[in-house]
Amino acid sequence: MTPGDTYPAPQAVILAFEGVLAPPGVLRETLEPHALEALPDFLERHAESTAVQRTLADILAYSGRELDVEGLLAQIRAWIRGGQDITPVRQLQGMVWADALEAGALQPRLDEPTAGALDRLHQSGVALYSFGATPAPVQRDWLRHGPHPEVEQRLAGLFDTRIGGRRDAGSYRRLAEEIGLTPETVLVLSTRRDELDAAHQAWLLTARPAADPQADDDHPVRTLTSLISGDAGDR
């Protein structure tokens, strides 16, 4: 089966957190800039936190170098600016973001049509999952603090880079195994070609949630509404 073929109705849908449940640029345009700005103050306020200290130790071990506090902070910022999917760095950022969401310093967005379609899709019996570079607890907090907190309750599971990178076919094979379904019955819905290509390599179904005039691949468009109706979606 090629990406342009007609797909059967999926038994489960893996929703890209960045692009479906949150704005496509939420990491680079909102979350990461906030982490860069808030990180020094956050580390100072949580200097005695066991979880923070453990995460910093994991980051230091990942770097493979001896770094003082300022050197480690500079390295973390460099990785953040580079958009690296390094799990302990994402986890540290996740702590910063959770702190900001709780304080109201970040304002999540999710539009009414998407929330409504997800509710109807859930009611139709399709299992819904989230997968993103944003740590799973932050994905959950983002939805809970957003305008449609009920969406979080519609998800059967949330995944992040602990299962693997978003551009790694192995991650999607592991996702299908974790969900307990064969890859050919699971649809990955994402706005990014590299994620869709990786999922297709793992034999999962792939589609974009909306048409993209800039797209130069054969992944079809399958809106959330078309999945509810069983329609194959636009090509």
pLDDT tens readout for residues 159-206: 998 899 899 999 999 999 999 999 999 999 999 999 999 999 999 999
Pick the CATH number of 12-22+109-229 from 1.10.150.130, 3.40.50.1860, 1.10.10.10, 3.40.50.1000: 3.40.50.1000
pLDDT above 70 covers a percentage of the chain that reads 94
Q: What is the largest CA-CA distance in the chain?
A: 57
Structure tokens at 224: 């959330």
CA angle 103, 70, 30 (to 5 degrees): 35
* Range(s) within the chain of domains with CATH label 1.10.720: 27-103
Give the pLDDT of residue 4. Answer: 41
CA distance 39 to 95: 10
**Residues for the chain: how many in total?**
235
Report the distance separating Cα 159 and Cα 187, nearest Å: 15
State residue 176's pLDDT score: 97
Distance CA 70, CA 93 (A): 17
Which backbone phi and psi does 197 adopt, to 5 degrees? -60, -45
Domain 27-103 has CATH 1.10.510: no
152-165: pLDDT as tens digits = 999 999 999 889 98
56-75 per-position pLDDT tens digit: 999 999 998 888 889 999 99
Token pair belonging to 155: 């998800």
Mean pLDDT of 143-155: 96
List the structure tokens of 113: 């049509």
Give percent of the chain with pLDDT exceeding 90: 75
CA distance 159 to 129: 8
In the chain, where does the domain assigned CATH 3.40.50.1000 lie? 12-22+109-229
